[in-house]
Structure 1
């Protein structure tokens, strides 16, 4: 199985200069290597010379190298979003903190009537009562009633005048109105077949109530509560200059106490942290963008306390390449690098990706298992 190594972000990549500390090391090794060759020649002429200590060697190994960065994130339920009520009426019941929403279940009550939850991306911004009306809000109603098991019928043809711009969304059909009436009766609402603003609350998906702001007796058209993700996530602040290498859906590794577990990037915030959180002038820190990460198995973090979790993002992988320890590189006087064989022979190499303590190499005469001298 190929070995995988995490890359330091300060290590040079393909075509970049090697850090000064590495150059100092490899130049020192070159001097030692040359001295070893000279001593070897001298010893060949003097049979009474004492034996030199054996040199440190390593083998050229074929493996996978990955270019990655590890950033410490915060385990919790993610950023809090605010829910504002709509329509008219008075709040008569509110959910307790920690409540998890469910499609079709009431989140709160207004004038003692339940206000159920629908999932979607468009709120009910108008009364839906006229057959034939088209829009994304109708799509939300249609999709949710269908998901709850109601017969919403066929979509229905949409008639448009010649040259008329297309209208997005579904059509309110007689079958959809009939399904709405049946649903209203089942949840304890008057089966009018009309859905008024405020009769339902649209959320992006299942959420967890985090902080109720309103009080019983308040008007509904106010800030009602905050909500977060229903399960624990890791929020990772990534340098704005580096976030472009991270894509939603890509795999990551969560470094939990005593073990590593897989995760996935679920989202990237669209804006940088606001100016009030930016470092003062002269600070070499960069602005941050929050990246939300989900564990592949929610159970991996379900029993962990909220706190720091290192997350490894892999941006590039070089598979099945030849590698040696960085300490095996020798800086050549004319430029470039070489490896030294135990007998003193130098083998010129091209360097590729630098990983933690390792470097990708290529060149004529290189084979897996080749022994090379390494700085002690």
Structure 2
């Protein structure tokens, strides 16, 4: 018995230097606070930044192209745009192409009214007449003064091109020495736009005048406004909707971009992170309070990692995922 006791005592004395096991730490909780925020139902769609769809400028009459504009040149009212047989071809703005020489008093028509509009804006003529669509002596004198400043003798379809407004030469089709009667170059608008092709099912909430955000390749975002919404249908294919977005702050001439379209907006609603939602076995959702209890909630809009909730007080701390 003494030997056993001694052995037992020795065994007991062999462990005094071993450290006691550390207590198990409780897992830390990631906590979020129920706060008010604005939520917006938005989506990002790819688009192309540029100057929009172009219009082909076609020359008329006999002659040889002797000068073409440079790509990027601005198209201005009343100014020469290119030259045929070393004579300038000038620009008028409007919707009626010239179809006859405007050189005889008494001519009437939309082309005459269009000419008067242009010469009035340029300061050569006046609208203070009874009939704006009549080529009277006063308008004819204004035409001659303008043509003299341009070193032209007559205003004819071969010496003027009518466009719908200011533009920018985007591409050349013809070369020097080509016949004047043909496709010469392409003109776009002067403002930058983003063209976004959408399926018809995705375009239901897109409206002209709606504000959007355009994300550039650099990651910067610039504001934009929807300028047009048009449907393009090709045989055998699902109709596509083309949306153009006007932007002014972009420093790039062309780039692939992302456009954020915003739909429904919910102002100052109670929100929690989506990770705070707990799916209930009986259906629906709850949030977990820091004491471990569950509080059922009613959910609304989901956006940007947040979810609209109801039936909870503002300022409540809830458990969420890290």
Distance in 1 separating the partners of 2:288 and 2:212 = 37
The residue number in structure 2 matching 1:205 is: 165
Asked if 1:84 corresponds to 2:58, the answer is: yes
Judging changes above 3 Å, is the alpha-carbon distance between structure 1 residues 301 and 340 closer, same or farther for their aligned structure 2 residues? Answer: same
Do the aligned partners of 2:116 and 2:125 also contact (CA within 8 Å) in 1?
no
Asked if 1:151 corresponds to 2:125, the answer is: yes
Judging changes above 3 Å, is the alpha-carbon distance between structure 1 residues 187 and 134 closer, same or farther for their aligned structure 2 residues? Answer: same
Do the aligned partners of 2:42 and 2:303 also contact (CA within 8 Å) in 1?
no
Displacement over 6 Å in runs of 4+: none
- Structure with higher Rg: it is 2
Match of 2:298 among 350, 357, 360: 350
Mind listing any 5+ residue stretches in structure 1 that lack a counterpart?
1-49, 158-169, 279-285
Q: Deviations over 1:99-145 (max 9, x none)?
A: 2222211111234332111223332345545647243x444323322
**2:116 aligned counterpart, secondary structure:** helix
Do the aligned partners of 2:65 and 2:175 also contact (CA within 8 Å) in 1?
yes
**2:297 aligned counterpart, secondary structure:** strand
Distance in 2 separating the partners of 1:219 and 1:234 = 35
**1:235 aligned counterpart, secondary structure:** strand
The residue number in structure 1 matching 2:6 is: none
The residue number in structure 2 matching 1:100 is: 74
Do the aligned partners of 1:88 and 1:220 also contact (CA within 8 Å) in 2?
yes
Match of 2:223 among 257, 262, 265: 262
Asked if 1:172 corresponds to 2:129, the answer is: no
Do the aligned partners of 1:264 and 1:296 also contact (CA within 8 Å) in 2?
no
Distance in 2 separating the partners of 1:155 and 1:341 = 81
**2:221 aligned counterpart, secondary structure:** strand
Q: Deviations over 1:33-81 (max 9, x none)?
A: xxxxxxxxxxxxxxxxx98545432111111111111122223444443
The residue number in structure 1 matching 2:200 is: 240
Do the aligned partners of 2:168 and 2:189 also contact (CA within 8 Å) in 1?
yes
Q: Deviations over 1:213-256 (max 9, x none)?
A: 23444443311212234455433332332224223333222222
Give the superposed CA RMSD. 3.2
Report the structure, 1 or 2, having the larger strand content: 2
Do the aligned partners of 1:101 and 1:117 also contact (CA within 8 Å) in 2?
yes
The residue number in structure 2 matching 1:326 is: 274
Match of 1:183 among 128, 143, 146: 146
Distance in 1 separating the partners of 2:118 and 2:204 = 35
Judging changes above 3 Å, is the alpha-carbon distance between structure 1 residues 319 and 150 closer, same or farther for their aligned structure 2 residues? Answer: farther
1:287-302, aligned counterparts within 5 Å?
Answer: 288-298=240-250, 300-301=251-252
Distance in 2 separating the partners of 1:270 and 1:83 = 24
Asked if 1:314 corresponds to 2:262, the answer is: yes
Judging changes above 3 Å, is the alpha-carbon distance between structure 1 residues 345 and 106 closer, same or farther for their aligned structure 2 residues? Answer: same
Distance in 2 separating the partners of 1:258 and 1:335 = 40
Do the aligned partners of 1:62 and 1:321 also contact (CA within 8 Å) in 2?
yes
Deviation at 1:90, TM superposition (A): 4.0
Deviation at 1:87, TM superposition (A): 4.2
Mind listing any 5+ residue stretches in structure 2 that lack a counterpart?
1-23
**1:184 aligned counterpart, secondary structure:** helix
**1:171 aligned counterpart, secondary structure:** coil
Deviation at 1:201, TM superposition (A): 1.0
- My pick for the range that moved more, 172-181 or 257-266, is 172-181
Q: TM-score, normalised by structure 2?
A: 0.77
Distance in 2 separating the partners of 1:268 and 1:288 = 10
Asked if 1:75 corresponds to 2:49, the answer is: yes
Q: TM-score, normalised by structure 1?
A: 0.67
Query: How many residues are paired up?
Result: 297
Distance in 2 separating the partners of 1:53 and 1:211 = 65
Asked if 1:133 corresponds to 2:108, the answer is: yes
